[in-house]
Structure 1
Amino acid sequence: MSSVPFHYVDLRAFAYATEDEKRVAEALQTYLPEETELERAESEGHYGDRIVVLSARVENADDIRHVLTQVAAVDDLETVLEELDDRVDANCSFFLTFDKQAAFGNSVERGDGITLRAKVEAYPAKRETAIENAQDALSEL
């Protein structure tokens, strides 16, 4: 993939009170380049329980390529490509979720726990153009 048609990629995971925050951070790092630092924000759940939001944004083309290479390791990439119409919104953002538990074991599986949002380059900024660009980029992986 010579050019990367994404402005940035955001990854986010929640560490609930019953989870080990370090393990959640390790799971999130499965998708990120080694030198990427995680941002940490504390929040509170409905019943007063602690929730830590761990997130990272990559904007460098090489780092975006690294994340996309991890995404391409998912077993059902063809299904993701077929679902692009549902996964790209009107703001040209592409969404996908991954299994947090599997990521802790360095495995890439679709599921819940880790959210990926990638801003797709599209000129003009139209959803249809973003879908085509995302399709082309993910097909090349």
Structure 2
Amino acid sequence: MASVPFHYIDLRTFCYATEDDQRVETALETYLPEEVEIDRMKSEGHHGDRIIVLSARVENADEMRHVLGKLRELADIDQVRDELDERVDDNCSFFVSLDKQSAYRDTIELGEGITLRAKVEAYPAKKDAAVENARDALA
């Protein structure tokens, strides 16, 4: 794939008080190239419990290719391609939820815990064009 039809890709997860933040960071790193830094933001839950928001944005084409390569390892990648009409919104953003536990074990699976949001390039910026560009990128 010569060009990458995305402006950027964001990955985000939450580390709750009952979780080890280093393990959660390792799970997020499963999708990221080594040189990408993970941002940490401390927050507090409704009952005062600690929550750390871990996030990373990749904007460089090579870094985005790395993330997309990981996404293509999904056993359910055909399902993701089939659901692109529901996974791309009217603002040309593509969403997928990934399993945090599996990512910690270096396995790529759909599930809960890690959110991937990618802004799809589309000219004109219409949902149909974004869906086709995302489909090509995930082929």
Q: Which residue of 2 aligns with 1:55?
A: 55
**Counterpart of 1:95 in structure 2: which amino acid?**
F
| Deviation for aligned residue 1:137 | 1.1
In the alignment, the residues of structure 2 paired with residue 136 and residue 106 of structure 1 have an alpha-carbon distance, to the nearest angstrom, of: 25
In the alignment, the residues of structure 1 paired with residue 136 and residue 108 of structure 2 have an alpha-carbon distance, to the nearest angstrom, of: 21
In the alignment, the residues of structure 2 paired with residue 72 and residue 133 of structure 1 have an alpha-carbon distance, to the nearest angstrom, of: 15
In the alignment, the residues of structure 2 paired with residue 32 and residue 17 of structure 1 have an alpha-carbon distance, to the nearest angstrom, of: 24
Unaligned runs of 5+ in 2: none
In the alignment, the residues of structure 2 paired with residue 35 and residue 122 of structure 1 have an alpha-carbon distance, to the nearest angstrom, of: 28
Q: What value does the CA root-mean-square deviation take over the aligned residues?
A: 0.5
In the alignment, the residues of structure 2 paired with residue 54 and residue 22 of structure 1 have an alpha-carbon distance, to the nearest angstrom, of: 11
The percentage of counterpart residues that share the same residue type is: 65
SS of aligned partner of 1:11: strand
**Correspondence 1:94 to 2:104:** no
**Counterpart of 1:73 in structure 2: which amino acid?**
E
Residues 53-98 of structure 1 deviation map (CA, whole Å, 9 limit, x = unaligned)? 0000000000000000000000011100000000000110000011
Residues 27-75 of structure 1 deviation map (CA, whole Å, 9 limit, x = unaligned)? 0000000111100001111111010000000000000000000000000
In the alignment, the residues of structure 2 paired with residue 12 and residue 123 of structure 1 have an alpha-carbon distance, to the nearest angstrom, of: 27
* 1:8-27 pair list within 5 angstroms: 8-27=8-27
* 1:1-141 pair list within 5 angstroms: 1-139=1-139
In the alignment, the residues of structure 1 paired with residue 124 and residue 104 of structure 2 have an alpha-carbon distance, to the nearest angstrom, of: 39
In the alignment, the residues of structure 1 paired with residue 107 and residue 35 of structure 2 have an alpha-carbon distance, to the nearest angstrom, of: 20
In the alignment, the residues of structure 2 paired with residue 122 and residue 45 of structure 1 have an alpha-carbon distance, to the nearest angstrom, of: 37
In the alignment, the residues of structure 2 paired with residue 128 and residue 48 of structure 1 have an alpha-carbon distance, to the nearest angstrom, of: 43
Unaligned runs of 5+ in 1: none
**Counterpart of 2:13 in structure 1: which amino acid?**
A
Task: State the TM-score, normalized to the length of structure 2.
Answer: 0.99
In the alignment, the residues of structure 1 paired with residue 118 and residue 103 of structure 2 have an alpha-carbon distance, to the nearest angstrom, of: 19
In the alignment, the residues of structure 2 paired with residue 21 and residue 69 of structure 1 have an alpha-carbon distance, to the nearest angstrom, of: 25
**Counterpart of 1:34 in structure 2: which amino acid?**
E
| Runs of 4+, deviation exceeding 3 Å | none
